[in-house]
Structure 1
């Protein structure tokens, strides 16, 4: 028992001697101590605090739609003139979803370039439908710039509209001008020669330039040789003319 008592007193003395050194080391490292908060971790937490960045608002292409306008399925019903204001408000664009508003907008754009009421598949109408879809995707991508799926759809729709505009421009130029004017589009023709630059293309171009320069050197040597032969022949002919009897 005496040996165990002495062993316990020795452990208590060692712990009492080591505890101040451990607390001092924790305070130097910026760790929390029993007496209070650390002076190092608190500025780090304040530094890593999240900041909400406000995105710049852009005008929507649906702003010109009146909220009192009826939805597409109820606009041409004759019974809508007899309903009360509550029902009319529920069936108006004020209670409509984004998809329903986009459908009305695309029909408005199509009506600007449509040749007849039954025209639903001409080049002008297809360009108007793609324009409404592109405007919607542009607004979505401005709010969600990391949405790669819709970004790919946006680029595909832009390329598809370029193809339709090019086809319309080559077939009916007057309709092409009217479509661009009504939809507010600016057609920029592609360059005559366009090619994606790759390492293989750069190496091939450097080789072609080197071959061209070598061919030019060979042609220059050939021209110099022909010039020297011509000068030598002229000299021999002049000497023969001078040595001949009169």
Structure 2
């Protein structure tokens, strides 16, 4: 039998034995007997050696007999250390919410105003579940985009609800890579929100812009069509880009040359009419005469 199998069997045996009431009772009885016998021996020794009441006695907790439970925990943890998951970074579960405020549905209860502080804390977000925090964030985001107080079927309110649902699923999907069900739910919610934003953008552009600011979203319009990437299409795209770059460079050179010819013609006309020439025109005339002389 392998060492890992023996360790696992020993761990299961110790855990099953540790969970029995008889084992716990025996450990407590042994600890009580050890403490009582140690106290009696300390009192007798102090009487013989002349210790007074105010003198410090040796610690009794360090001399207690250890049960097999303490040794088994260290063995099992070391044996299964490689299977332990890595430590995750702590996440702020409140996310900007006040932990002292009451949960959703208890904010209008008059009895909580005169209740004890411990009672108020029991009905606050500090003692609430993750669902309570999600409902509170959803309500706050809905109130921020709602134009009327009791508006529920508005498109902006639906977008705010879907946004909070996506933000609640995002950290879970990031920490649990194999949870494909929630990943598909999040992607479907993102697609549904994109369609709603597209419709709202066409119908009411001002409210669309205000909604993006209030929910801290960014809008990137989708492409007009989707093309499958193949080797032929990628080679064609590279050829078109190279041809466009060469064409742009040739056009730029032609424009520069055409401008210089126009300036040279203007300089010849000015010279014939006896008008004053600029520095650029004078340099062009000098350069053209040198080229013709050569």
**TM more than 0.5:** yes
Q: Distance in 1 between matches of 2:113 and 2:135?
A: 23
- For the structure 1 residues 80 and 186, does the alpha-carbon distance in structure 2 shift closer, same or farther, using more than 3 Å as the test? same
In structure 2, the partner of 1:112 is: 144
Task: Give unmatched runs, 5+ long, in structure 1.
Answer: 1-45, 206-246
- For the structure 1 residues 190 and 59, does the alpha-carbon distance in structure 2 shift closer, same or farther, using more than 3 Å as the test? farther
Describe the superposition over 1:189-226 as per-residue Cα deviations: whole angstroms up to 9, x where unpaired: 0011114558xxx89x8xxxxxxxxxxxxxxxxxxxxx
Q: Distance in 1 between matches of 2:215 and 2:185?
A: 21
Report how far residue 90 of structure 1 moved: 0.5
In structure 1, the partner of 2:86 is: 53
Give TM-score scaled by structure 1 length.
0.58
Report how far residue 87 of structure 1 moved: 1.0
- Report if the CA contact (8 A) 2:112-2:119 is conserved: no
**From 165, 172, 192, the counterpart of 1:140:** 172
**From 195, 205, 219, the counterpart of 1:173:** 205
Give TM-score scaled by structure 2 length.
0.49
Instruction: Tell me the C-alpha RMSD between the 2 structures.
Output: 2.5
Q: Distance in 2 between matches of 1:192 and 1:178?
A: 25
**From 191, 195, 210, the counterpart of 1:159:** 191
Q: Distance in 2 between matches of 1:167 and 1:102?
A: 27
In structure 1, the partner of 2:10 is: none
Q: Distance in 2 between matches of 1:81 and 1:49?
A: 52
> How many positions carry a matched residue from both structures?
156
Q: Distance in 2 between matches of 1:49 and 1:101?
A: 35
Report how far residue 84 of structure 1 moved: 1.1
Task: Give unmatched runs, 5+ long, in structure 2.
Answer: 1-78, 234-294
